[in-house]
Structure 1
Amino acid sequence: MQSSAYGASLAGGAFDFERFAKQPQTILRFLSWLFSIVVFATITAEGYVNTATEAEAKCMFNKNDSACSYGVGIGVLAFLACVVFLILDAYFPQISNAKERKFIVIGDLVFSGAWTFLWFVCFCLLANLWSKTTDSVSGDAARAVVAFSFFSIVSWALLSYFAYGRYRQGVSEFEQEYRDPASDHTTPYPPAQFGGGPTGYQQSPYPNRQEQPGEYQPPSY
């Protein structure tokens, strides 16, 4: 039975809030949660502006409504994911099934890697559109969205790094604690339990004398 799996001891430990709050992953998730709020809240509140020539509000990033929708969508999903993974991190030490832990760690790794890439796309898109924008009505808001999109790239990349480290740690622990005897050719056979036994063929104490048929040989005293 494994004593630990994927970076934490198996179920039974009491929840330590202070230790949980000081973990790098917890801090990074909180920062990612905060960055996502800044991005989607800023776009929602100040991202659509009315120009002098158009009555309908347009996205502040070169009037590209798709860019604003993309930023809001990525931010909202990142906000929800941070909440879910924070709950899972808090509940993680109570999970006794190593397979369930593995699924959580792999899910964290895949999602963090995907959102690192999506935030990178968001940053490049918004920065490029902002450089082409002539109307600077919401200049501070646009720069804040671009800046916090970049900060989100860093935070989610670090979350991917820690998730990968936890996954590798779990794989290493599993390989060390379990080894199939049928496929293990490196472990020597155990020594014999009874030492000093016969190791080969021993010659009979009686001399090997070839007797002729019908010839009687008297015993020697």
Structure 2
Amino acid sequence: MEQTGGVSSAYGASLAGGGFDFVKFVRQPQTIVRILSWIFALVVFACITTEGYINSSHSSDAKCFFNQNDSACHYAVGIGVIAFLACVGFLVLDVYLPFMSNAQERKYAVMADLIFSGVWTFLWFVCFCLLASQWGHTEDVRGIPEDAARATVAFSFFSIATWGILAYYALGRYRRGVTEITIPTYAEPPPAYPSNVPDVHQQPPFISNTKQHEDTYQPPNY
């Protein structure tokens, strides 16, 4: 039997052998959500790095505007920068994934996307809880750019949703790949010989000719 599906198209290789369609790629839900995650991460670490440190009345050193907790700002910036770079990397991977000829490499790429998205969903949740808690305990808001602080908290929350959706998409792609490998589809093989061709070998060869010679043979007269 000839295998028509399975390993050759597993883990998102449906475009293998074709050209890259940029418009179709941009319109994919996974691409849209990944771009949103990239923007949200940019907003989070940009707000903190540009406006997140202020000089308090008690100290000459600039402190984080989240209850003067520098650890909160450092954590949010670290998570945001890594998420920003990861989105760029996974966008490039999404472009090349359908054209990878090795199913095992595609599997590893999808697994990396799934694991990273799941971990960053949790880390963004921790980041949101930390920033919201520290902002709620900030008593002296004089001189603090409150809009930047609220935007940081809000986009941390939005990042939980987008990275959770990315993890869901990656899980679905991984399950489809496993299913295509485990249960491949097969095409019905063509018949070995045409069925409408008459059997020309039903009688042994030369039977009729031999019998005809025997009937016409006459022994000589002596």
TM-score of the pair, normalised by structure 1: 0.78
Q: Which residue of 1 aligns with 2:161?
A: 154
SS in 2 for 1:153: helix
Structure 2: how far apart are the matches of 1:133 and 1:121?
18
Contact 1:10-1:96 within 8 A present in 2 as well: no
SS in 2 for 1:13: coil
Q: Which residue of 2 aligns with 1:61?
A: 66
Q: Which residue of 2 aligns with 1:77?
A: 82
Structure 2 residue 193 is the aligned partner of structure 1 residue 169: no
Would you identify which runs of 4 or more consecutive aligned residues in structure 1 move more than 4 Å?
Answer: none
Q: What RMSD over aligned residues (CA atoms) do the two structures have, in Å?
A: 1.4
Q: What is the aligned-residue identity percentage?
A: 64
Give ranges in structure 2 of 5+ residues lacking alignment: 187-222
Instruction: Report deviation, 1:135.
Output: 2.0
| Greater RCO (Cα-Cα under 8 Å, separation 6 or more) | 2
Contact 1:13-1:93 within 8 A present in 2 as well: no
Aligned length: 179
Pick the aligned partner of 2:36 from 31, 35, 56: 31
TM-score of the pair, normalised by structure 2: 0.78
Q: Which residue of 2 aligns with 1:139?
A: 146
User: Where does 1:76-155 land on structure 2 (aligned, <5 Å)?
Assistant: 76-136=81-141, 137-155=144-162
Q: Which residue of 1 aligns with 2:193?
A: none
Structure 1: how far apart are the matches of 2:140 and 2:48?
16
SS in 2 for 1:8: coil
Contact 1:3-1:10 within 8 A present in 2 as well: no
